[in-house]
Structure 1
Amino acid sequence: MHMKSAPHLLTEDRAEYERILDEALRTAHDRPDLAGIGQRLNTEQLRTMALNATALIAAAAAAEYDHFVTVRADARRPVGVIDSVLGPPDEVGGPGAGAGVVVTVLAPVLAGTAAVIFLLVGYVLKALDPPPAFADSLLAAGWFFGAVTAASILAAAIGLLIAARRNSATQVPAQEPGGDLPDEVARAREAWRHALLERGILPFLREALADPEADPHPAAPPRHFGRLPKVGYSGPEFSSPSEGEARPRPAFTSPDFTSPDFGGPEHRPDPEPQPD
């Protein structure tokens, strides 16, 4: 299983993190505080949880790790050519260092530029008929600066050779993982390993074993609801008349119209008189 990417640890130190974690799990039976391994969470589950929490665990030893990385980078940094010729970086700002930079770097450039200008102008004037009297002086000056340029380049080459030999004897080569380290780097590395184990990995394993809700698997994605959840109040109820409660309807009847023949006895017409 490969460890997930951690923003704090460098790539070359992630394998060391895994080795420290595996060693802690391998010797867990010797630690009474880790005696619960295998009851609810086994070794592989704890390892998975610790790898997923690499950034959190590594942050517990951030100060020691930053010091270790700084010391290791200083030990691996080769001594530069200018440092070898002019001295350490804290001496570059001195007056002697400034003169050395001018002589070593700028002198060949300036002398070469002057030589080209004087020779070019001198030969152009020499081609005139009659040539000016100072044409020979310009050519002489051009050849003089040409000689200065050659001498400056030779001096710079000698300085580079001396610096290269000095570097090969004094610089600290980059160390392979597991190889011998300089004493200061080895002490910083051991301090980081100790802090990572005691303040990061072991507390994480103890808390994972003591937490009954610890989940060795990645957290499930949040649920998505298809509709809005019901809030604690509801709007007023509106219903159509047909859905509402039955209400008594007013009793209206049409007027009682009847023909005279079908009226009551009191409304019957008088009988017509019979003829004699």
Structure 2
Amino acid sequence: MHMNSAPHLLTEDRPEYERLLDDALRHAHERPELAALGERLNAVQLRTMALAAVALITATAATEYEHYVKTRDEVRAALCDRDAARAPDDPGRPGAGIGAVVTVLAPMLAGTAALIFLLVGYILKMLEPPPEFATTMVGAGWFFAAVTAAAIFVAAVGLLVAALRNGSTSRAARGAGEALLDDVAQAKDAWRQALLERGILPFLRDALAQPAAGPAAPAPYRPAGRLPKIGYSRPDFAGPDDGPAAAPRPTFTSPDFSSPDFGGPEHELD
């Protein structure tokens, strides 16, 4: 897009243009310059004309629209980059995935081993006489129980640290995202205001001000000036007295037929 040319209205922004136009027509009675609405042109006819002239109407706010589209595209790109950076289990960082697996599996494995050793050890101690390795198995069971407690504690601390870090990052990212969205909202409001004040309202006002305007002949909109005269002039038909002199009518003579008494020699009288 170039600043010296009007950017084409994108398909995603067409509904916004129509909403702005409908809102202007809905509140036309509140604007003195649109007080003639309904006398010669109704809201449906004006809407049809404004939709046909959308390219020229939106050209009046080309600078604001270009800024709005540029800001919106930049914010979308920034948000996509942020989401990609926060994607979990990045293939380029295998250590993060291994650490998470160890943190989850260590308490489970240690707890299972502690349960087995303690259960078997105490069952063996109930025998008479108890085996010598029963005490060893009970001691191993308590060792794995201590490992389980330590692993749970480490996992809890890791989760807490990760939550605090992610929370601060999320708040910062959320604050940055809200600031970017505010920029988009401000750019959009500026475009809507310029489009309404410099494009839609002047078009509606000029369409209603044309004395020869008609619903069947919408005129093209020129943003820099007023609308051309809408309508048509009745052709001139000359009356019979004003036309050229009539040419003389042709005359015809009836054929000259001779009577039988004046015929040829074969018809001579005796």
Normalised by the size of structure 2, how large is the TM-score?
A: 0.41
Larger radius of gyration: 1
